Amino acid sequence: MKKQKIMSESHVLVIPYPAQGHINPLIQFSKRLASKGLRVTAVIFSSQALLDHTHLGSVEVVTLDFHIYEAAKISVDDYLKQFQATVTRKLTELVAELNSSSGYPISCLVYDSMMPWVLEIARHLGLIGASFFTQSCAVDTVYYHIHEGQLKIPPEKLPLTFSSQPVLEITDLPSFVQGLQSKPEYSSLLNFVVSQFSTFMEADWIFVNTFKALEEEAVNWLASHRSIRPIGPMIPSFYLDKQLEDDKEYGLSLFKPNPDGCNEWLDSKETASVVYVSFGTLATLGEEQMAEIAWGLKRSDCCFLWAVRESESTKLPRGFAEESSGKGLVVTWSPQLEVLAHKSVGCFITHCGWNSTLEALSLGVPMMAMPQWTDQPTNAKYIADVWQVGVRVKANEKGIVTKEEVERCIREVMEGERGNEIRRNSEKWMKLAQTAADEGGSSDKNIEEFATEVACKSK
Ligand code: UDP
């Protein structure tokens, strides 16, 4: 039987960093909080959001203009300064406006951990401040060590042997850590991700988009420094526990679906026969690498669905999409959750973004891990060696994953005893993800406790 919802007057603002991989989990979290009886408004800083409504179910959505693409013309540091100043001003105005117009004063700000300075706004306005970490707890642990001065960059001794982690070689570390010496521009990005911990001790709540069974040691280790709440996986309810009716997609996209019809195409394929390929919303590949993937897919002789963003599509070998027609479908944006949930998909070639990783894990899809940058190498390490739900590609001395390697890895995931073992593990993790999200599960309980406390404090 469903528990009685808390019916609350409390009004929470949820503020994701304006990138798709941050908007998705925080929008999902907003829906979860609303399902627990809180009033929730999600605030999107973007001029790009493809939104033709102001509500996603019971979550209100406010879009505030911020031209993220101006970032290309200025340094990362200047961009972040501009972003902070704009958000601080617009958010303060929005809270005042909602307090006077909505009838439900704001009592709490849930902010993306990449915007730790939102806590100052919360403090200034006398509100509860809750930080939401969108990356894995393992990656958070690496950044926490750097923040605390316990890990010097470059590391003094390798491999790293943190107590809560498997042995991490240099290639398993986030790219901003492993590539800092060769890429000076990573210095600002490393500061940016490590700064997530600048309000770690002060925030009233810390949420992490993971679940306890998935990262038990890292969760326990971080929790030994301060209380943290795993609330993941933040995947639409339809794919997990069906707690929210009609919750099949995140609902707020910065990209246009193109073309429709992935599902119909997948319907025409055999069970577990299709390789789905996506490198997420930010990673960019070189032309040579794109060609090797294309020829590797061809050599594997599997059907494939490849999401190549519009900005990347000129890098495909000329005529490849047309030539592959029937066997392969190339789209500029896929409905990824529906694709991963489709029975025809047997392998996901992924860049190992944390959302893609959690989505594949929660839907039981085996992975071929091909990390590109940021937190992805660490996620790939866990996919291959800890959860054993996939294989990780090996690049050659030029840093290219060759067509032979692509073919080898696809076969390893799709065929033989190793493939069977990976599929068994994938099913195990899928069930554990569902258990955590289910009513009364470890993640659901954390959300419930937060909603109850916010509701009580606002009375
Ligand atoms: N995504 C999608 N369709 C695509 C590519 C990506 O729906 O064609 C979604 C995907 O489901 C995920 C998000 O975009 O929720 C990407 O986040 P992730 O953390 O995996 O990678 P990032 O883009 O942040 O590197």
Do 392 and 381 contact (CB within 8 A), yes or no? yes
Predicted confidence (pLDDT) per residue in 61-70, tens digit: 999 988 755 5
Domain span holding position 222: 11-251+437-458
- Which tops the pLDDT comparison, 325 or 111? 111
Buried b vs exposed e over 307-320: b needs ≥16 C-beta within 10 Å?
Answer: bbbeebeebbeeeb
pLDDT at residue number 225: 97
The encoded tokens of residue 188 equal 């600002």
Predicted confidence (pLDDT) per residue in 242-268, tens digit: 888 889 999 998 888 776 789 999 999
Q: Across all residues in the chain, what is the average pLDDT?
A: 93
Is the residue at 146 inside a domain?
A: yes
Ligand 1 center to 350 CA (angstroms) = 10
Q: How confident is the model at residue 1 (pLDDT cuts 50, 70, 90)?
A: very low
pLDDT at residue number 69: 53
Q: Are residues 236 and 295 both part of a single domain?
A: no
Residue 92 has phi, psi (to 5 degrees) of: -60, -40
CA distance 242 to 234: 13
Burial group, residue 182, by CB count within 10 angstroms (0-12, 13-18, 19+):
exposed
CA distance 157 to 284: 31
pLDDT at residue number 358: 98
Whole-complex ipTM:
1.00
Q: How many domains does the chain have?
A: 2
Burial group, residue 418, by CB count within 10 angstroms (0-12, 13-18, 19+):
middle
Average pLDDT of the segment spanning 348-359:
98
Q: Which residue has a Cα nearest atom 17 of ligand 1?
A: 21
pLDDT at residue number 262: 92
pLDDT at residue number 180: 76
**278 in ligand 1 pocket by Cβ < 6 Å?**
yes
On the question of pLDDT at 47 being above 90, the answer is no
Q: Are residues 247 and 286 both part of a single domain?
A: no
The enclosing H or E element of 331 equals: strand 328-331
Is the residue at 282 inside a domain?
A: yes
Is the residue at 256 inside a domain?
A: no
In three-state secondary structure terms, 395 is coil
pLDDT at residue number 452: 95
Q: Are residues 51 and 124 both part of a single domain?
A: yes
Q: What percent of the chain has pLDDT over 70?
A: 95
CA distance 410 to 424: 17
Options 11, 22, 145, 342, the catalytic residue:
22
Is the residue at 340 inside a domain?
A: yes
In three-state secondary structure terms, 318 is coil
On the question of pLDDT at 48 being above 80, the answer is no
Which amino acid makes up residue 172?
Answer: D
The partner residues of 328 in beta bridges, in order of sequence, read: 304, 325
Q: Are residues 444 and 420 both part of a single domain?
A: no
CA distance 268 to 328: 12
Q: Are residues 375 and 298 both part of a single domain?
A: yes
Do 105 and 24 contact (CB within 8 A), yes or no? no
Ligand 1 center to 101 CA (angstroms) = 35
pLDDT at residue number 50: 64
Q: Are residues 136 and 177 both part of a single domain?
A: yes
**253 in ligand 1 pocket by Cβ < 6 Å?**
no
- CB under 8 Å to 16, separation ≥6 — which residues? 22, 23, 25, 26, 27, 42, 44, 112
Number of H helices, E strands in the chain: 16, 14
Q: Which atom of ligand 1 is nearest to the CA of 350?
A: 20
Is the residue at 422 inside a domain?
A: yes
Is the residue at 300 inside a domain?
A: yes
Q: How far is CA 326 from the centre of its chain?
A: 31
In three-state secondary structure terms, 161 is coil
pLDDT at residue number 258: 75
Q: Which atom of ligand 1 is nearest to the CA of 309?
A: 8
CA distance 257 to 156: 46
Ligand 1 center to 9 CA (angstroms) = 34
Q: Nearest to residue 427, comparing CAs of 278, 303, 220, 272?
A: 272
Residue 20 has phi, psi (to 5 degrees) of: -55, -40
**353 in ligand 1 pocket by Cβ < 6 Å?**
yes
Q: Are residues 283 and 337 both part of a single domain?
A: yes
The encoded tokens of residue 200 equal 């770690």
Q: Are residues 294 and 235 both part of a single domain?
A: no
Is the residue at 4 inside a domain?
A: no
Q: Are residues 121 and 94 both part of a single domain?
A: yes
Ligand 1 center to 349 CA (angstroms) = 13
The enclosing H or E element of 346 equals: strand 345-350
On the question of pLDDT at 343 being above 60, the answer is yes
The encoded tokens of residue 122 equal 């919360």
| DSSP 8-class letter at 441 | S
Q: Are residues 180 and 290 both part of a single domain?
A: no
Residue 284 belongs to domain with CATH number: 3.40.50.2000
In three-state secondary structure terms, 196 is helix
Q: Are residues 95 and 117 both part of a single domain?
A: yes
On the question of pLDDT at 183 being above 80, the answer is yes
pLDDT at residue number 365: 98
Predicted confidence (pLDDT) per residue in 370-408, tens digit: 999 999 999 999 999 999 999 999 999 999 999 999 999
Predicted confidence (pLDDT) per residue in 94-120, tens digit: 999 999 998 899 999 999 999 999 999
In three-state secondary structure terms, 378 is helix
The encoded tokens of residue 297 equal 């897919």
Is the residue at 3 inside a domain?
A: no
Q: Nearest to residue 32, comparing CAs of 200, 233, 253?
A: 233
Q: What percent of the chain has pLDDT over 90?
A: 81
The encoded tokens of residue 84 equal 């902070």
**367 in ligand 1 pocket by Cβ < 6 Å?**
no
Mutation pick for ligand 1 pocket among 133, 336, 339 (CB with most ligand atoms within 8 Å): 336
Residue 126 has phi, psi (to 5 degrees) of: 70, 35
Q: Are residues 81 and 218 both part of a single domain?
A: yes
The encoded tokens of residue 431 equal 């069930």
Length, in residues, of the chain: 459
